[in-house]
Amino acid sequence: MFFAPKEIKQETGESLVYNPHRTLVSKEFTFDAAHHLFHYEGKCKSLHGHTYHLQIAVSGFLDDRGMTYDFGDIKAIYKDYLEPHLDH
């Protein structure tokens, strides 16, 4: 979510003044995982997989650049901290 500039101030040298409300930045990731159920007599007893969708959301106020959080930083958090535990 991004809020457009509220106004442009040229007399102060500031190029943009952003809406001061809280914004939410989110990114979705998809990963596959496999499992099987012990002590279960059904089709899920055999090894099988599922596709999962994970959404990481960060809430905050816009900084001087007009950003709350960089999508690249969210991707790095996923890659560094979560993805290594999801490899099946």
Domains with residue ranges and CATH for the chain: 20-85 (3.30.479.10)
The pLDDT of residue 70 is above 60: yes
Contact residues for 24 (Cβ-Cβ < 8 A; gap 6+)? 1, 57, 58, 59, 68
b/e per residue 59-81 (b: at least 16 CB within 10 A): eeebeeebebbeeeebeeebeee
Mean pLDDT of 6-26: 61
> In this predicted structure, what is the pLDDT of residue 11?
52
pLDDT digits (tens, 9 = 90+) for 34-66: 888 999 999 889 999 999 999 998 888 888 887
Reduced to 3 states (helix: H, G, I; strand: E, B; else coil), residue 24 is strand
The pLDDT of residue 1 is above 50: no
> In this predicted structure, what is the pLDDT of residue 46?
92
